[in-house]
C-alpha cells in the first residue's frame, strides 16, 4: 500500500507522510484503522471502477475527447426544441461569477460571519425574484421547476389540510409524473381540468365545476405546456380563494418582462424553472426551482427550503442570516416542512447575476425580442400552409404546430439539414403525432428561422 508519490488530490498519501502519521498514531498499518469492520466484509481487491488505473489530467482529457466527439451540438441554428427547457443566452460574466471559487467551493453558509457575500448574493436572488413575481417571500431555491411544483402541492396539503388538487389536463407531462411521485406517500388526489380545444387555455367552466370544499389548491401553468397564455387567471384565483384553496401558478421568468406577474393576479404560491436565467442547457441539469409565496404568516411557516434574511451584527452593521430555520429538517426532523438541504444555491447566484445584468428594462427588451421571434416563426409557418400556432391564443416562446403529416418524419429530415427541430408531441400523447412544440428565443436570428422554414417547406412537399 502507498507509494512514493501521493495519489491525486490526497496530498499526504505518499509513503513518507503516511509513515509519519502512522508512527504518531502508534500503529504500523493503516488497515488497523478498519479493525472493527467484520473481516468477511472487507473486499479482497479494489473495486472495478474507472479504467483500472489512475489517469493524469492529460490522459483524462484524451479519454473524454473520445466520448465528446460522439455528441452533436446545435448552435447555428440553436435547437428549436423546448419542453420548458430552451436555449438561452448565458452571458460570459454569469459563468465567470459562479466559477469564483469562494462561491463554487463553499458549503451551505451555516457559518454566517465568514460567508456574508454568498448570503448577500442569495438574499439578492430572493429579492429580485420577489420583485419579478410581486410576491414577498422567496426561498433560496428548490431543485428544479418540477420539484418546486411538487413542494408547492405538499405545502398546500399542509396549509389547508385538504387533499384535492386541480391541475390542467395538459400540464407538463414530465412535471405531472414528478408530482405524482412526490405525492405518492400522501393521501392526495390530482384532478384534471379540461382545456379549451380552440384556445388551449384552461376551461374556467370545468375548473369551477370541479372545485369544492375539499380542494387544497388550483394549479395553472402560464403559459401552458402547449404554449397558450391564460387570460382568466383572476377568475381562477377568485374561484380558488372562495373555496379556501390556494392558487398556485407556474410562470416562465423571462415572460414577466411582458406579462403581468402572478402576484398581481392573486397567486398564493408562484413557481418556475429558473433555467432561462443564465443557466444554459447542460442536457437538462442543473436547473433552478423558483419558489415564491405571498406574505402571510400561515403560508410562510409552511414554506419549504432555506431562506436568507436581513439582520445586523453585534456592532449594528447590516448582516445576513439564515432565517425561519425551525421549518427545516436539521432542526425539526420528521416535523420539517421538507427534507431539502442541498439545493441549487449556485444556480440562484447565477440567476441573480443575470437579472442584475439585465435590469428591468433589459428584461423587457429581452422578452420583446423573444415574443417577436416566436411570432415571426409562427407567421412564416402559416404562410407556407402549416398550422401555427394551433391554438387561438397569445403565446410567448413555445407554441404548438400541426403538420399535414407525422412530425417525426419531418424531424429526421431537418436533422439531416443540421437543424434540431421541435418536440414531437407523440412523446406524451400518441394521438398528437402530427404536432410539435417549437421554442424560439433571443438566440434565433431571422436567418435561423428562415432556414428552418425553408427546410420545412422542402420537406413537406416531398
Partner 1 sequence: MSTSKKEWRQARWSEPLVYEIGDPQKTGVILPYLDELPKLAERVGARPQGKVFREDTPDLPGLSEVETARHFNRLAQMSYGVDVGPVPLGSCTMKYNPKIFEEIVRDPRIKFLHPLQDEDTVQGLLEMLYLLERWLAELTGMDRCSLQVPAGAAGELAGALMIKKYHADRGEERDEMLVPDSAHGTNPASAAMAGFKVVRIPTSSRGTIDLEALRSVAGPRTAGLMLTNPSTLGIFEDEILEVAKLIHDSGGLLYYDGANLNGIMGIVRPGDMGFDIVHLNIHKTFAAPHGGGGPGAGVVCAKGDLVDYLPRPLIERDDSRYFWDYSCDKCIGSMRIFYGNIVPLLKGFLYIASLGGKGLREVAIQSVINTNYFITLIKNTKGYELPYDPSKPRKHEVVISAKPLLNDTGVSAGDVAKALLDRGLHAPTMYFPLIVDEALMIEFTESEPLETIEEYAKTLKEIAEQAYTNPGKIKEAPANTSVRRVDDVYANHPKTVTPTYRVYLKRLRGEIK
Segment 44 to 103, residues that bind partner 1, using CB under 8 A:
46-55, 57, 60-61, 63-64, 66-75, 78-79, 81, 83-85, 87, 89-91, 93, 95-103
* DSSP secondary structure code for residue 70 in this structure: T
Q: At closest approach, how far in Å is the CB of 215 from partner 1?
A: 21
Please, what is the end-to-end C-alpha distance for the chain in angstroms? 67
What Å distances lie between residue 191 and 20, 30, 166, 244, 369, CA to CA?
66, 59, 5, 17, 37
- Choose the binding region for partner 1 from 190-198, 243-251, 419-427, 453-461 (rule: CB under 8 A): 419-427
DSSP assigned state of 418: T
Q: Does 11 bind partner 1 (CB under 8 A)?
A: yes
Is residue 355 part of the contact set for partner 1 (CB under 8 A)?
yes
Footprint of partner 1 on residues 262-281 (CB under 8 A)? 264, 280-281
Question: CA of 135: how far to CAs of 105, 131, 187, 296, in Å?
Answer: 31, 7, 29, 10
Q: What residues between 202 and 221 interact with partner 1 by CB under 8 A?
A: none
- Grid coordinates in use for 267? 397567486
| Nearest distance in Å: CB 348, partner 1 | 8
| 159, 246 contact by CB (below 8 A) | yes
182 binds partner 1 (CB under 8 A): yes
The CA-based angle 273-279-283, given to 5 degrees, is: 85
Of the candidate spans 105-113, 189-197, 204-212, 453-461, the one that interacts with partner 1 by CB under 8 A turns out to be 105-113
Of 162-170, 211-219, 244-252, 315-323: span binding partner 1 (CB under 8 A): 315-323
Stretch that binds partner 1, among 163-171, 213-221, 370-378, 384-392 (CB under 8 A): 370-378
Candidate list 156, 267, 271, 363; residue touching partner 1; CB under 8 A: 363
Which is nearest to 332 in space by CA: 309, 297, 311, 301?
301
* 309 belongs to the binding site for partner 1 (CB under 8 A): yes
Answer whether 453's CB lies under 8 Å from 114's CB.
no
DSSP code at position 158: H
Window of 10-18, 159-167, 240-248, 398-406 that interacts with partner 1 by CB under 8 A: 10-18
Residue closer to partner 1, measured from CB, 210 or 364: 364
- 88/92 Cα distance (integer angstroms): 12
Q: Which of 15, 34, 169, 429 binds partner 1 (CB under 8 A)?
A: 34
Member of 163, 174, 191, 194 binding partner 1 (CB under 8 A): 174
Residues 280-299 that bind partner 1 (CB under 8 A): 280-287, 295, 297
372 binds partner 1 (CB under 8 A): yes
Cα 132 to Cα 78, 156, 169, 256, 289, distances in angstroms: 27, 22, 27, 7, 15
Nearer to partner 1, 260 or 405 (CB): 260
User: What CA–CA distance (Å, rounded) separates 165 from 218?
Assistant: 6
Segment contacting partner 1 by CB under 8 A, of 163-171, 236-244, 373-381, 452-460: 373-381
For residue 61, give every residue at least 6 positions away whose Cβ sits within 8 Å of its Cβ, in sequence order, or none: none
Tell whether the torsion through CA atoms of 88, 91, 92 and 97 is positive or negative.
negative
Q: Which range, of 115-123, 159-167, 244-252, 397-405, touches partner 1 by CB under 8 A?
A: 115-123
138 in the Ramachandran plot: left (φ > 0), alpha (ψ -120 to 50) or beta?
beta
Question: Shortest distance, CB of residue 233 to partner 1, whole angstroms?
Answer: 8
Of 162, 250, 306, 397, the one binding partner 1 by CB under 8 A? 306
275 burial level (CB within 10 Å; 0-12, 13-18, 19+):
buried
Tell me which of 161, 317, 416, 461 binds partner 1, using CB under 8 A: 317
Amino acid at each position: 500500500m502507498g507509494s512514493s508519490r501521493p495519489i491525486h488530490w490526497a496530498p499526504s498519501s505518499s509513503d513518507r507522510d503516511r509513515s509519519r502519521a502512522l508512527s504518531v498514531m502508534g500503529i504500523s498499518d493503516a488497515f488497523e484503522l478498519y479493525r472493527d469492520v467484520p473481516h468477511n466484509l472487507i473486499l479482497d481487491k479494489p473495486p472495478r471502477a474507472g479504467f483500472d488505473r489512475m489517469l493524469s489530467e492529460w490522459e483524462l482529457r484524451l479519454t473524454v475527447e473520445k466520448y465528446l466527439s460522439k455528441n452533436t451540438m446545435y448552435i447555428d441554428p440553436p435547437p428549436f426544441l423546448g419542453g420548458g427547457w430552451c436555449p438561452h443566452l448565458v452571458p460570459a460574466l454569469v459563468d465567470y461569477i459562479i466559477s469564483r471559487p469562494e462561491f463554487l467551493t463553499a458549503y451551505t453558509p451555516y457559518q454566517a460571519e465568514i460567508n456574508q457575500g454568498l448570503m448577500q448574493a442569495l438574499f439578492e436572488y430572493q429579492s429580485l425574484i420577489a420583485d419579478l413575481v410581486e410576491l414577498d417571500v422567496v426561498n433560496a431555491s428548490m431543485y428544479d421547476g418540477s420539484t418546486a411544483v411538487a413542494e408547492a402541492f405538499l405545502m398546500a396539503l399542509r396549509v389547508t389540510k385538504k387533499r384535492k388538487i386541480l391541475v390542467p389536463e395538459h400540464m407538463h407531462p414530465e412535471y405531472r409524473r414528478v408530482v405524482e411521485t412526490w405525492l405518492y406517500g400522501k393521501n392526495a388526489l390530482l384532478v384534471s381540468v379540461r382545456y379549451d380545444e380552440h384556445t388551449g387555455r384552461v376551461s374556467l367552466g370545468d375548473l369551477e365545476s370541479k372545485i369544492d370544499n375539499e380542494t387544497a389548491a388550483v394549479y395553472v401553468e402560464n403559459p401552458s405546456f402547449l404554449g397558450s397564455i391564460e387570460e382568466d387567471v383572476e377568475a381562477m384565483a377568485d374561484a380558488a380563494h372562495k373555496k379556501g384553496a390556494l392558487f398556485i401558478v407556474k410562470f416562465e421568468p423571462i415572460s414577466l418582462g411582458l406579462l403581468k406577474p402572478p402576484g398581481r393576479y392573486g397567486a398564493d404560491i408562484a413557481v418556475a424553472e429558473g433555467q432561462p436565467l443564465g443557466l444554459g442547457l447542460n442536457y437538462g441539469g442543473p436547473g433552478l426551482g423558483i419558489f415564491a409565496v405571498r406574505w402571510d404568516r400561515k403560508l410562510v411557516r409552511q414554506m419549504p427550503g432555506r431562506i436568507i434574511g436581513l439582520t445586523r451584527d453585534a456592532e449594528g452593521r447590516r448582516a445576513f442570516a439564515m432565517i425561519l430555520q425551525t421549518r427545516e429538517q436539521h432542526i425539526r426532523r420528521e416535523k420539517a416542512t421538507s427534507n431539502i438541504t442541498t439545493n441549487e444555491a449556485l444556480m440562484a447566484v447565477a440567476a441573480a447575476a443575470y437579472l442584475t445584468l439585465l435590469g428591468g428594462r433589459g428584461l423587457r427588451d429581452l422578452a420583446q425580442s423573444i415574443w417577436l421571434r416566436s411570432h415571426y416563426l409562427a407567421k412564416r409557418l402559416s404562410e407556407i400552409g402549416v398550422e401555427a400556432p394551433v391554438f387561438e391564443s397569445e403565446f410567448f416562446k413555445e407554441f404548438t404546430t400541426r403538420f399535414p403529416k407525422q412530425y417525426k418524419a419531418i424531424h429526421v429530415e431537418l436533422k439531416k439539414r443540421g437543424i434540431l427541430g421541435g418536440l414531437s408531441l407523440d412523446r406524451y400523447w400518441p394521438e398528437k403525432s402530427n404536432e410539435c412544440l417549437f421554442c424560439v428565443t433571443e438566440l434565433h436570428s431571422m436567418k435561423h428561422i428562415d432556414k428552418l422554414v425553408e427546410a420545412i417547406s422542402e420537406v413537406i412537399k416531398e
